[in-house]
Structure 1
Amino acid sequence: MSSAHRGDPRSGAPPVVPEPHESVSPSHAEAPPHDERSAEVGGERSAAAGGAPAPGSASAGTGSRGGGPARLAALALAALALLPLLGKSGIWDPYELDNADLARRIAIHVFGARGLDLADAAGQLPTLTDLGMGELGFTSMALGFRLFGLHDWAGRLPLALWGLAGALVLYELLARLVDRKAGLYGVAVLVTMPLYVMQARTMLGDIVTMAALTMAFCGLTGALLEGGRAVGRGALLAPAAWLAVGLVGLGAGYLSRGLLIGVAVPALGAGLTWLVLRTSGAWAQPEDPRPTLGDLVGGAALLLGVAAAAKGALVLASSSADAPLPRALGVALLGKPPVESTFDLTLRQLGHALFPWSAFLPFAIGRLFRAPAADRGAAPAAPGLDPEVGVRIALVVTSALAYGAFALLAPHAGALPFSGPALLAAIAALAIRDLERGAPSSRALAVGCSVLAFVLYRDFVLSPDKALSVFSVDKPVFPKSFEDEAASAMRLVLLAFAGLVALTWFEEQPRALDRSLRAWARRLADEVQAGAVELTRIWNGNLLFLMIVLEAALVGVGAMLFVGKRIGWGTVARMPNSLAAYGMNAWWALPLLLAVGPVLLVAVRDAFRFAVARTAIPRALGTPLAGLIAGFLLSFWYYPALAAQLSPKEVFESYASLHRPGEPLATLGVRSRAAAYYQGGEITSFDDVPQAFAWLTAAPTGGSADGAPAAGARRWLVVKADELPRLNSLFRKHHRRNLPVLDGRSSQILLASNEPGGRPNESWLSRVVLDEPAAPANPLEAMFEDQLEVLGWELTDGEGRTVASVVPQKTYHLRTYFRVHRPITGNWKMFVHIDGFQRRYNGDHPVLEGRYPLSLWQPGDVIVDDHELQLEPNFTPGDYALYFGFFAGETRFHVTRGPEHEDRVRAGVIRVR
């Protein structure tokens, strides 16, 4: 982009006056000309089809008239995304809890908050080695604890404010050097990036690094570009203000992540940008060839960046994992390099941590090198520094440097939270703004973004733990009970984002739309007819001929299957009903899909066109709107629900509402320090299951006349899910019933009690270890040695209903019932064989999915193993024999009683239809 595309008062060129162009409303084909470029944000008239108002002119400067509403809109958007729900999600143990405890200790020693002392907890001032990074993030959390007390939201609030500051500084840079819409779009993208939002809402500390890098980049880039064209004493105020912001960012970056990330990246970015501008001739100042303030800023930034990079590299080379952490390094080193610490580790992390924007960013980066179309009728401006060109160069250079720094550190420190999401957000914002100003649409972007978003979505479905990439913590565990809800949320995010982005970028907004619904239907019919005619011309009609041949084949297959099923033709009769149904219906379903699918897509496209024209909003606004919908789905649904699974806060709240005075609380597998943020102090904590069981059952179980437990008789225990099986086994051994779990919403942390108090047991174990007598649909008498009795089995469908037959390729559950007679020796797995017609289904699996080992089963327990099975399509209709048993290696658990074959219990027949 050249400054010739703009009018600049300082250059002597006349200001650009946008030319209106014709646009026809849906109901009036010849309505008065409407110019999408006249949309205003905070009083700014933007040139949608050409260029923005001249940066630095009255309409582009931050202090210009009408800038207040735009700035307030940016502030409101950032605050809405970052500040709510700070206290809704509890503290994540151990990751947030460890950081919160370190900040608590800093609050005690640095801010004198003696009221935050906890018994039996470390109280000394932590070192940088304890922190694993610079201290600024922890000091910020400590200040929150000092001011508001020991609460989860008090530690998160200062970090959220850092995130808010970073977003506002990004807005100011884009609004001043590009235009206000670009600034608003930059904020909208940034605060819908999960990496930025979740780091701002959790006590992990790296949002300070992200905000610091944003401030350093914006401050140095603003001082460089504003200083490169400043004339007169008054004009130096803006560069000086930017320079102050930049220095604050550099200092904050150094105090959070050391020299390489906190100082070298933004300083080298500004310095190299200045070097590129100077050597390319874009810095030309023909009326005053003397060095400018921008030259001083650029040269100093280059020298500082080179020095910081050299010093940081030397410190990295001389440091080791077992040595104290140097402040200049700012990252904790690993004793052994991680296996996946290759140069693409940061790229893989960003792909999942920035979803769904990560699907759009590769194309936005490419479009950053293409300037938007020039305003028609714009007079060429005098040569000089175009700030937007400088912003684009600075974004590319600094983003590349940030990636290089993280790729350099990956083999030594593993995956670190990428500190430059604001840079990527600005790149996306410029691509959106370019489209609004007249840059061409891109079908490649529309399709490519959708495909890439779908690939990332499949990653989240197949490996849900990828969603935890936003936190960059070591070996996080994704709660299994949240997988289905997580997949549903990600599906909505995919549809909202990919759909709106594709609609926005696939085509230009047409000038004329249909006058009425009838006119639209007539045009749609004409387009369908034209498409049919075009189909006859492709490959000289050979494509249509091939489709006719395929349809004839499908008709023949359908007729053959229909007749064969009716007359009992052997091959067809043995074919699974589901496969036969597909074959009999393909002849009409496939052509209908091919005919209706394009019509539906055209209808959706036209509806989007109509909405854009009717609302008179820029078509490009669909992309930030897509990000806002997707980002808010993630920020206000997905991640809060995930955090509820990972934090003990909900169980502490349940205890607060359910317990009576005098009923004590303890923890098992959950550190008692977490209680200080919810209960106001530490509580008893156990790491040993027998000790926790002894404490839980020590109180008397007597009650009052109305059946309520006596005062002090009931005890409560917050249990880590991994410890529940052993605790439940001990409880069943002494009480012959399952341990009452009164809050089982999370698959990670549960609330148990020695008495149910009239509430249902929410333990997942109550579904597989029965307290009531079993009544399987198919009773059976068999025995494995003298230890395990077989009671029977049943088949259920996906709705839990008992079925008598199964269909291939459909999911069912085989529920097998056992009664324990003696403690079971050996580490057995279970197998299921469904045999017949020279076919076998082999269902080897851990008993109860390995979640309740056989060694924990107590005499008298009734166990239900629930195995999910799905027969392959080659299972033809008929009766198949069902066998099951247990094995360890090559040895099978010996069947001593009942129908058996080769130490397999012969359970009966399964009918396949």
Structure 2
Amino acid sequence: MNMDSFTQKLESPKGSRAAWIVLGVLVAIIFGLNLSSVGFWEPWEASEFLVAEEYATRGPAEPSTNPAAPSYNAVVPTLEGEPVGRSLLKVWLMSLGAGSGEVKVGALELKTRAGFALALWVLVMVNFAWVRKRFSTRAGLISGLVFATFPVIFIASHNLATEVLFVVTTSLAFMAWFEFVYAQEKRAQWLGLFTAAMTLVFLDQRLFGVLLVLVILGVHALTEAISEGKIQKRRLIEASASIGLSAVAFAWAWGSGDLAEMKDVFIPHRGQIVSVLIPLLLSLGLFWAARDSRPGQAFWSRGWVGLLALTAVIFGVGWTYGAANPTLLQNGEVFGKIPVLTFFLEHEIFGTSLVSKHMTFDLWVRQIGFAIVPWVGIVPLGLAYLGRATRLDADDVKAERTAAKRLVLVWAAFSAVLMIFGSIYSHYFFPGFLALAIGVGVMFADDEFWDELRQKPLALYAMGFFAVAAVMMVGKDLERFPARFVEVYTVLQDKLDLEEDFSFGRAMKVLKYAMMATLVVYFFGLLSWAGITLRRAPGAIQWLKRGPKGWFVSIRDGIKNLSQGSDSESERPFEARSAQKEAFRAEDGLIPRVAGIVESQKGFVFILLGLALVTTLVYQTKFIPDLTNHLSQRGVFETYQESAEADAKLYRYDVADRESSVYLQDLETIANAAEFRQKFASPERLFAVIPRDNLAKINQDIRRQTKQNLVVLDARSSRLLLVSNQLEDGEKDHNYVAESIIEDESVIQNPLLVDADGQKVHPKFDGQLEMLGVSYDRPAGKDGHPVYKWGETAVIDYYFRVLNRVPGNQKIFVHVDTPGNRINGDHYPNDGWFPTNLWLPGDVVRSRHHLKIENYSTPGIYNLNFGFFVGSNRMKVTPRAAHDGQNRVTAGKIRVEAL
């Protein structure tokens, strides 16, 4: 069956049912694959879960003697008894599975996240039905799979910290409103769905969510009025004037010093009030301006019912919240923030966040680009298609399809613009992801559009250049800054505590280049070009054999024909080449047949969807679990459960009380170092969680007293470690500090000795450290030195015997020198996690250094000139023969070679 026959059958009733089943099953697998197997990312998901758990298990609020003190009720989420600005919809949904009381790994994650996954699955299926009705089955299937393979969507179905419910509620509202306006039947049901969706929007994002939907619908109504030519310029001018005058009036009242009574009441809160009223006036004004167009007229004649119902919900929630959090008064005047307005407008973002520091449009663009990998090169083309299609289809008899395209375009564009406003009140999540996916689906289902592009190959080439460039740029950013990919899932946190060498691995690079190759093959007809070129190879060889005289004659004849013109060459060169490629793809043979598939629009989409599904599978099975090991305490808790006997307790030591964790709640705290040493020395097995950053300090304290190291049973988390005093059979010690304390000095490959008064001695630094030697990660070359090429990383181990305690955290300088060039290797010992002031006298310590050999370094022998320093002060080296007069020891030599 060829692709054309397949797509025709897809549009039949039977094909549509098959597409519905395939889409439903695939999306269910994508959204449900890791629901129970991936741990909560902490503190982000932990914070959300703990709020929901407290909401599900708390009792009625106790009456307060202070009427101005904040309290809680059914619409007020709390954390440790204090009201917090969380999404009511999210809290209610999570609380259905959060009140279990006991931490059961797997079941807890599944119950808490299932509501999010189900909501996204329902949205995909509703989108399929809507896009199929308004466009085609193929468009619905493609858009659903594109949406489900956006990382921001399938990761958000497994992550409680994102605001993915915002995408679900607003998307349902837009589709329901469009059907309410344009459908010929069941309009009451669509109005009910619109009202329900808008209510959910409010419960999720409160007034900002409602204003966002109303403004976008208002803009769409205005575009329809202008496009259909059913509105007079005078009314647009009147609407603009009314909106402008209203804004001026509010600005004047805001800043006027004459309105004393208004000033006393409003000026302390003018930002909050204007933030509500100005967007509301804007959206209502746009509706009023478009009231004679079909969308505006339909909304005003019947849609007010839905708005009244929504208003009743807003009023009820506001009244209930106000009952628990009364307006604060001082001397008869309002002070501070008005609690109800704050609740309506703000959305709390916890932790030190990039959002609270700088919210810029380029940050949104970058985050949206990361969020839609691997579709980052295709989505902008879909938006451009929508803009072009809505313009070219203005006279299309299928006006409703054109109106739907305009809605999707406005939906995507204004969602981005309005989020800038929303960031003022900490609403940061882009809600228009489904619109981006619909644009891609509708574009790829438009056969006439692609047939036209085939005849205009320059436009096709331009699209290809843009798509490949977008994939290259975003892919490069992800390779350079892999941690930035998860900002949107960790509330744009500043510090993720990931390892410095954390990366996506080779698989993601392979997928990136596979995507680029697919784009090049399709947009530039690479296979057809290769086939035509190979076919012409014998003729080219014969042309070369003609020699200079023959070349001159053929070039002269070609210029003559070009100047005189020829009927056979009347086409433009690009169009002529495009026609040749089309003819080649229609031929028999392996290469033409393969080209006919991969360079066809339908085959191209099939390959893109396959790559997207493979990328999603790699994320789900490799990247997300690896990332979870760093960002979740589940691994710590699971290892404790596997290793501990039934009655063994788990303690926390040196862990701040504010360190929230779903898995490590209500642990008994070890009060001080003396108690920890006592439990460590006990014959009973100790299990405790400690901060990762404090391992060296705690290990030093234990080693000083017992000459033993802590046993680290689990070191996967970026924040906490699971430690013990015993190591059982089958268990592995992950104490990376202990690995740097050497018991066998024979591992030192290159001992470092200098002559001093006829004796061989090791260099000493301030009489505190004795440098024993150096080891490399590769054997010596022919000249006795290890060889490294440009771009490689040399792993160098330096060994020291600790003679006396080192005051302060010394930094290492390594001047890797050859005549005319230096590679700077300054670093803290062992990347900073085992500082010199925690080295114990008598120990032999290894400090591992990863030295990157810079490209274009001068080839040759390099000296490793080594020393310690703090600020401008270097540790003094003895004896004099051990250094160069600047307290630099030549620790070894390496050879650097070009590629």
Alignment match, 1:169: 126
> What SS does structure 2 have at the residue aligned with 1:663?
coil
Question: Could you report, residue by residue, the CA deviation over 1:568-626 in whole angstroms, capped at 9, with x for unpaired residues?
Answer: xxxxxxxxxxxxxxxxxxxxxxxxxxxxxxxxxxx99868526559x996443333333
Alignment match, 1:445: 463
Give the drift of 1:223.
Answer: 1.7
Deviates more, 1:350-359 or 1:244-253: 350-359
Alignment match, 1:792: 773
Give the drift of 1:422.
Answer: 0.9
2:804/2:841 contact within 8 Å kept: yes
| Aligned pair partner of 1:270 in 217, 227, 244 | 217
Kindly indicate whether residue 535 of structure 2 is the aligned counterpart of residue 526 of structure 1: yes
Question: Could you report, residue by residue, the CA deviation over 1:762-787 in whole angstroms, capped at 9, with x for unpaired residues?
Answer: 22223323244454122121211221
Amino acid at match of 2:628: A
Question: In 2, Cα distance between the equivalents of 1:777 and 1:655?
Answer: 38
Kindly indicate whether residue 149 of structure 2 is the aligned counterpart of residue 192 of structure 1: yes
Kindly indicate whether residue 372 of structure 2 is the aligned counterpart of residue 354 of structure 1: yes
TM-score, normalised relative to structure 2: 0.73
Where in structure 2 are the equivalents of 1:99-114 lying within 5 Å?
A: 99-109=48-58
Question: In 2, Cα distance between the equivalents of 1:829 and 1:383?
Answer: 72
Amino acid at match of 2:345: L
Question: In 2, Cα distance between the equivalents of 1:675 and 1:338?
Answer: 21
1:884/1:904 contact within 8 Å kept: yes
2:198/2:310 contact within 8 Å kept: no
Question: Could you report, residue by residue, the CA deviation over 1:197-251 in whole angstroms, capped at 9, with x for unpaired residues?
Answer: 222211225122111011111111222222xxx2xxxxx21x3333222222111
Counterparts in 2 of 1:504 and 1:865: CA distance versus 1, 3 Å: same
Where in structure 2 are the equivalents of 1:678-697 lying within 5 Å?
A: 682-685=666-669, 690=673, 693-694=676-677, 696-697=679-680
Question: In 2, Cα distance between the equivalents of 1:635 and 1:530?
Answer: 51
Amino acid at match of 1:44: E
Counterparts in 2 of 1:303 and 1:428: CA distance versus 1, 3 Å: farther
> What SS does structure 1 have at the residue aligned with 2:848?
strand
Deviates more, 1:725-734 or 1:625-634: 625-634
| Aligned pair partner of 2:476 in 458, 470, 476 | 458
Where in structure 2 are the equivalents of 1:888-903 lying within 5 Å?
A: 888-897=870-879, 899-902=882-885, 903=887
Question: In 2, Cα distance between the equivalents of 1:880 and 1:300?
Answer: 81
2:788/2:794 contact within 8 Å kept: no
Alignment match, 1:295: 297
| Aligned pair partner of 1:75 in 18, 21, 24 | 24
Alignment match, 2:431: 419
Counterparts in 2 of 1:855 and 1:293: CA distance versus 1, 3 Å: closer
Amino acid at match of 1:156: R
1:263/1:308 contact within 8 Å kept: no
Counterparts in 2 of 1:253 and 1:844: CA distance versus 1, 3 Å: same
Kindly indicate whether residue 342 of structure 2 is the aligned counterpart of residue 326 of structure 1: yes
1:797/1:803 contact within 8 Å kept: no
> What SS does structure 2 have at the residue aligned with 1:197?
helix
Alignment match, 1:243: 191
Kindly indicate whether residue 722 of structure 2 is the aligned counterpart of residue 751 of structure 1: yes
Question: In 2, Cα distance between the equivalents of 1:448 and 1:675?
Answer: 44
| Aligned pair partner of 1:493 in 508, 511, 524 | 511
Question: In 1, Cα distance between the equivalents of 2:661 and 2:716?
Answer: 22
- Alignment RMSD: 4.6
1:267/1:302 contact within 8 Å kept: no
Where in structure 2 are the equivalents of 1:311-710 lying within 5 Å?
A: 326-332=342-348, 338-371=356-389, 386-413=399-426, 416-435=428-447, 438-439=450-451, 440=453, 442-475=460-493, 477-478=495-496, 480-481=498-499, 483-507=501-525, 525-528=534-537, 608-609=594-595, 618-668=603-653, 682-685=666-669, 690=673, 693-694=676-677, 696-700=679-683
Give the drift of 1:342.
Answer: 2.3
Alignment match, 2:253: none
Alignment match, 1:590: none
Counterparts in 2 of 1:773 and 1:736: CA distance versus 1, 3 Å: farther
More RCO (CA 8 Å, sep 6+): 1
2:444/2:601 contact within 8 Å kept: no
Counterparts in 2 of 1:798 and 1:672: CA distance versus 1, 3 Å: farther
> What SS does structure 1 have at the residue aligned with 2:155?
helix
Give the drift of 1:103.
Answer: 0.3
Counterparts in 2 of 1:699 and 1:662: CA distance versus 1, 3 Å: farther
| Aligned pair partner of 1:822 in 801, 804, 807 | 804
Question: In 2, Cα distance between the equivalents of 1:841 and 1:330?
Answer: 50
1:716/1:752 contact within 8 Å kept: yes
Where in structure 2 are the equivalents of 1:276-287 lying within 5 Å?
A: 276-281=223-228
> What SS does structure 2 have at the residue aligned with 1:89?
coil
Question: In 2, Cα distance between the equivalents of 1:428 and 1:527?
Answer: 37
Structure 2 gaps, min length 5: 62-70, 232-290, 319-333, 455-459, 556-588, 753-761
> What SS does structure 2 have at the residue aligned with 1:196?
helix
Give the drift of 1:43.
Answer: 5.2
1:816/1:866 contact within 8 Å kept: yes
1:644/1:746 contact within 8 Å kept: yes
Amino acid at match of 1:804: H
> What SS does structure 1 have at the residue aligned with 2:373?
coil
> What SS does structure 1 have at the residue aligned with 2:160?
coil
Kindly indicate whether residue 111 of structure 2 is the aligned counterpart of residue 154 of structure 1: yes
Give the drift of 1:177.
Answer: 0.9
Deviates more, 1:781-790 or 1:477-486: 477-486
2:49/2:662 contact within 8 Å kept: no
| Aligned pair partner of 2:734 in 750, 754, 762 | 762
Kindly indicate whether residue 130 of structure 2 is the aligned counterpart of residue 144 of structure 1: no
> How many residues are matched?
743
Counterparts in 2 of 1:417 and 1:639: CA distance versus 1, 3 Å: farther
Give the drift of 1:692.
Answer: 7.4
> What SS does structure 1 have at the residue aligned with 2:469?
helix
Give the drift of 1:634.
Answer: 2.2
Amino acid at match of 1:280: S
Counterparts in 2 of 1:842 and 1:426: CA distance versus 1, 3 Å: closer
Question: Could you report, residue by residue, the CA deviation over 1:684-706 in whole angstroms, capped at 9, with x for unpaired residues?
Answer: 246x7737733651523xxxxxx
Q: Percent identity?
A: 23
Structure 1 gaps, min length 5: 1-33, 46-63, 113-121, 231-235, 375-379, 514-519, 546-602, 701-712
Question: In 2, Cα distance between the equivalents of 1:800 and 1:99?
Answer: 57
Counterparts in 2 of 1:344 and 1:674: CA distance versus 1, 3 Å: closer
Question: In 2, Cα distance between the equivalents of 1:869 and 1:808?
Answer: 12
Question: Could you report, residue by residue, the CA deviation over 1:60-85 in whole angstroms, capped at 9, with x for unpaired residues?
Answer: xxxx6764333222322221111121
1:223/1:294 contact within 8 Å kept: no
Counterparts in 2 of 1:628 and 1:875: CA distance versus 1, 3 Å: closer
Give the drift of 1:256.
Answer: 0.5
Alignment match, 2:203: 255
Question: Could you report, residue by residue, the CA deviation over 1:625-664 in whole angstroms, capped at 9, with x for unpaired residues?
Answer: 3322223322333223212221111222222222233332
Where in structure 2 are the equivalents of 1:51-62 lying within 5 Å?
A: none
Counterparts in 2 of 1:886 and 1:524: CA distance versus 1, 3 Å: same
Higher helix share: 2
| Aligned pair partner of 2:135 in 164, 175, 178 | 178
Where in structure 2 are the equivalents of 1:209-224 lying within 5 Å?
A: 209-224=166-181
Question: In 2, Cα distance between the equivalents of 1:455 and 1:400?
Answer: 22
Amino acid at match of 1:658: S
Kindly indicate whether residue 834 of structure 2 is the aligned counterpart of residue 852 of structure 1: yes
1:137/1:205 contact within 8 Å kept: no
Counterparts in 2 of 1:541 and 1:391: CA distance versus 1, 3 Å: farther
> What SS does structure 2 have at the residue aligned with 1:718?
strand
